[in-house]
Amino acid sequence: MSASLRILISGQHGQVSQALQHTLKDLGELIVVGRDQLDLSAPESIRNVVREVKPDLIINAAAHTAVDQAESEPDLAYAINATSPGVFAEEAAALGIPFIHYSTDYVFDGSKDGAWTETDTPNPLGVYGSSKLAGEQAIEKAGGQYLILRTSWVYSLTGRNFLLTMQRLLQEREKLTIVADQIGAPTWAGTIAQSTRALIQRWRDGEPGAWGVYHLTASGETSWAGFAGAIGQELSKVGKPCATIEPIPSSAYPTPAKRPLNSRLDCSRLQQEWGVSQPDWHAALLECLAQQR
């Protein structure tokens, strides 16, 4: 890779941002802005930061990701997930620089039998998915060089996520009931960061694929119960206690926001256009856990 980059990353303590900070640190200067430096609900705050930093690349790793909470605070969810990405995209387009943004499987309703492709029509079930879809549309309207990367079931060794919750509960309880009829690909934040780095490399080498919307998840599929089972197996291997897992349907675990039953995303377009592929979800889980020991 040639000259070092000046990369603006929005979001400071989130799972993807933390992984990006680790994975991209040798590419140049990372300007990471969190809530103290940037008010995502205020467009002028975003514009001021971008114009002051004058980056070579913008990565938006900030989002309102509390799916159930979004149902009771839609205005905030839309401000962060819909309006702010559009403002970032407008500023990036004005500077003539790339903009990378992360979206979600929740833009789909989960009704399809097979894996969702980028050409399938979105139909979100709740505020979170609707706000993220509106963010995609705002970016597309702004135009320019952008990558919208839809991912799913993100976990890491930081923050609040399914992996860390399961590690705790599996050791605290004798039995856990876990939803088994929602199918998707658990995706390590490290995988997202590594793929993002590969995309940046292609752009810097002057060999970018087409700009636009892409799916980026681990390969393979499982249920939440299957994911929990895999986490439990690894706990047992190191001699830690592990609860019995009882699979249940989504109907037995009601939540304020409805979840899509089928969150499988077809990531073949990213491989075809950019030459970037993802590891199997279970292999990525083991790589993640290896960093914990």
Position 1 scores a pLDDT of: 42
Say yes or no to pLDDT of 197 above 50.
yes
What CATH superfamily classification does 5-160+187-218+265-279 receive? NAD(P)-binding Rossmann-like Domain (3.40.50.720)
pLDDT tens per residue across span 12-34: 999 999 999 999 999 999 999 99
Look up the pTM and report it.
Answer: 0.96
Q: Which of 3-12, 191-200, 213-222, 266-275 has the lowest mean pLDDT?
A: 3-12
Position 223 scores a pLDDT of: 98
Say yes or no to pLDDT of 174 above 80.
yes
Catalytic residues, which ones? 128
Phi, psi of 10 (to 5 degrees): -90, 140
For residues 84 and 101, what is the distance between their CA atoms, to the nearest angstrom?
11
Position 2 scores a pLDDT of: 52
Say yes or no to pLDDT of 157 above 90.
yes
CA distances from 216 to 9, 33, 147, 200, 269 (A): 19, 24, 11, 15, 9
Concatenating the DSSP letter of every residue in the chain gives --SPEEEEEE-SSSHHHHHHHHHSTTSEEEEEE-TTT--TT-HHHHHHHHHHH--SEEEE------HHHHTT-HHHHHIIIIIHHHHHHHHHHHHT--EEEEEEGGGS-S--SS-B-TTSPP--SSHHHHHHHHHHHHHHHH-SSEEEEEE-SEE-SSSS-HHHHHHHHHHH-SEEEEE-S-EE--EEHHHHHHHHHHHHHHHHTT-----EEEE---BS-EEHHHHHHHHHHHHHHTT---PEEEEE-GGGS--SSPPPSB--B--HHHHHHH-----BHHHHHHHHHHTT-
pLDDT tens per residue across span 219-263: 999 999 999 999 999 999 999 999 999 999 999 999 999 999 999
Mean pLDDT, the chain, integer: 96
Position 215 scores a pLDDT of: 98
Greater confidence, 209 or 1? 209
Mean pLDDT of 81-96: 98
Who contacts 263 (Cβ-Cβ below 8 Å, separation ≥6)? 105, 106, 108, 110, 116, 152, 153, 182, 183, 184, 185
Say yes or no to pLDDT of 3 above 80.
no
Mean pLDDT of 61-87: 95
pLDDT tens per residue across span 131-147: 999 999 999 999 999 99
Say yes or no to pLDDT of 35 above 80.
yes
Mean pLDDT of 157-183: 96
Say yes or no to pLDDT of 125 above 90.
yes
Q: For a pLDDT cut of 90, what percent of the chain falls above it?
A: 96
Mean pLDDT of 153-165: 96
Position 36 scores a pLDDT of: 87
Position 45 scores a pLDDT of: 94
Residue 61: name the closest of 76, 47, 81, 43 by CA: 81
